[in-house]
Structure 1
Amino acid sequence: MHPSAPSAGPRHHTIEAPAGRLHLVEQGTGPLVLLVHGFPESWYSWRRQLPALAAAGYRAVALDVRGYGRSSRPAATDAYRMLDLVADNAAVVRALGEDGAVVVGHDWGANIAAASALLHPGIFRAVGLLSVPYAPPGGPRPSEIFGRIGGPEQEFYVSYFQEPGRAEAEIEPDVRGWIAGFYAALSADTMPAEGAPDPHFVARAGGRLRDRFPGGALPGWLTEEDLDVYAGEFERTGLTGALNRYRNMDRDWEDLAEYAGAPITQPALFAGGALDASTAWMADAIDAFPATLPGLASCHVLDGCGHWIQQERPDEVNRLLVDWLGSLPG
């Protein structure tokens, strides 16, 4: 692949998909690279990757996952199960007139990207995972695992998100402030000091997740204008569509039971932050990559980096992605 001439700016459009409507932001021409965001983000989390991938000769497409931004927000909670999100990704590839794509995801998007590659290896020829490593389906029921984390005095955030309306009641009266605090809590330059209360937990006696968010300045990667973009979308849409992803983890466990223990065999990349709790908590999953990601060609843990890896360290992530993409067959 030879670098293309400087590309035109990003183009917004929508396609019809199982979700109803999906909003896409596209830049560049060449092999398709589909970028899938996590919580609580949007296509905008890939704003620094779109021009870099386009300049390197790729058709970079970032979507608003169903429930987010300008994409449709189905009312039913079970409309956000993994099978439906994978179907959306496959529909994007078809709607763009392509036979296949490389799929790259961050946070929940990494899980969605991994499931897309697992279920549709003929469509998704390679998979890049940022922040959340691949762990094959199977094991104990997720609600049971997360219910045991925290103990009698505090509750893990994934469990806190399960009851419809509960987290919304905390977040939606002050979306901008909550989003800013959540980003800061997981960013390398603003996360709570070692020994401070962990922002991934809620006190069981009337606590809120934001009670443990740091105050003060925004993370270095997040400008006031960036925050306006994120907050403006969630103020318009509410948080239920985004939170419904967490509310389908037991359904996913049932839906994907036949894939228990299954590896992803396509060429793969993983990159995580050394200061990201996801990287630390899932260290065993990274250690298992020789069995679970036998096609892994590139694995990186970035020193001094938190959870929002492609926004905290965009130049480094862009370089990793472009080098990896250039190494893929075909």
Structure 2
Amino acid sequence: MLLVHGFPESWYSWRHQLPVLAAAGYRAAAIDVRGYGRSSRPGDVAAYRMLDLVADNVAVVRALGEESAVIVGHDWGATIAADSALLEPEVFRAVGLLSVPYAPHGGPRPSEVFARMGGDEEFYVSRFQRPGRAEAEIEPDVRGWLAGFYAAMSADTMPAPDAPDPHFAGRDGALRDRFPAGRLPAWLSEHDLDVYAGEFERTGLTGALNRYRNMDRDWEDLAALDGAPLTQPSVFIGGRSDASTMWLADAIDAYPTTLPGLTGCHLLDDCGHWIQQERPAEVNRILTDWLASLPA
């Protein structure tokens, strides 16, 4: 199994899954995605395009002496996992998607879509586009920014539904202006926060943010996949309190067409975005049951 994390995390986000998967008899590897942690951090923004990340995943499988693997991803990792399976179906024979639903390629240019969101406010994905801009907000206080970002998307600490949405910021404000302050979510200990913050303090955020800066490039690179269903055996796990599952509810409804190999769609009550950390026991049970059901 290859486990692929999202933003802003690392291999460490799979710490609750690795021992359980190993105990169940599976060989599992959780990587630092290109740009994160102990992985390489090329200087060229284009080096973070999806084609390169998929090639990285194939190379990891080969380096471990395997011909194929089950791939499971969370957040950006879910998109990377889906595209890995679309582009390399002989290597990635089954796909687990956490938090971010599968939606086929196609439609308008992504930067144009995100620029239209929010009216007078700016969506976080748009704020991440210009190199250096988000870094200037985050890097002076990496630990504090991460704590707020994690809390903003966790079920037990996220802002109330009638509070300003932390996914957006005023044109003259900062994203962190809307983050909860003073309390960590239950899943995140001070030690866990130290692990995440320590890596980003060492590496900076540019490598991680460069994933967002390649969405239009991916849209062009992968145009041949427009509308393509993901046919391998698959499973989806989302949190009902996660904006990703709420905004992309139509994508979930379309799964009979877009994920014809889907064997389970699980939406967990009172769960936010950091699903394998917020609800590790349930995620582990779902994943191990799903793995046991796959063809040998």
TM-score (norm 1): 0.89
Matched letter for residue 248 of structure 1 = N
Matched letter for residue 43 of structure 2 = A
Partner of 1:72: 40
Residue 190 of structure 1: SS of its match in structure 2?
coil
More helix by percentage: 2
Residue 35 of structure 1: SS of its match in structure 2?
strand
Matched letter for residue 262 of structure 1 = A
Partners of 1:223 and 1:266 in 2: CA distance: 36
Say which of 131, 134, 137 aligns to 1:170: 137
Matched letter for residue 93 of structure 1 = V
Say which of 161, 164, 177 aligns to 1:194: 161
Q: What's the offset of the Cα at 1:150?
A: 0.7
Say which of 228, 249, 258 aligns to 2:194: 228
More strand by percentage: 1
Partners of 1:154 and 1:144 in 2: CA distance: 15
Partners of 1:327 and 1:57 in 2: CA distance: 14
Say which of 102, 109, 114 aligns to 1:134: 102
Partners of 1:285 and 1:256 in 2: CA distance: 19
Deviations 1:135-182 (A, max 9, x none): 11111100110010011x210000000000000000000000000000
Tell whether 2:278 aligns with 1:320.
Answer: no
Partners of 1:308 and 1:231 in 2: CA distance: 16
Residue 279 of structure 1: SS of its match in structure 2?
helix
Partner of 2:87: 119
Counting only pairs closer than 5 Å after superposition, residues 273-292 of structure 1 correspond to structure 2 as: 273-292=239-258
Say which of 170, 181, 202 aligns to 1:215: 181
Q: What's the offset of the Cα at 1:184?
A: 0.1
Residue 235 of structure 2: SS of its match in structure 1?
strand
Partner of 1:10: none
Q: What's the offset of the Cα at 1:302?
A: 0.2
Deviations 1:219-278 (A, max 9, x none): 000000000000000000000000000000000000000010001100000000000000
TM-score (norm 2): 1.00
Partners of 1:244 and 1:37 in 2: CA distance: 15
Q: What's the offset of the Cα at 1:118?
A: 0.4
Matched letter for residue 183 of structure 2 = A
What is the RMSD computed on CA atoms of the aligned residues?
0.4
Partners of 2:226 and 2:111 in 1: CA distance: 17
Q: What's the offset of the Cα at 1:202?
A: 1.1
Paired-residue identity, %: 79
Residue 102 of structure 1: SS of its match in structure 2?
strand
**Runs of 4+ off more than 4 Å:** none
Long gaps (5+) in structure 1: 1-32
Deviations 1:109-128 (A, max 9, x none): 00000000000100000000
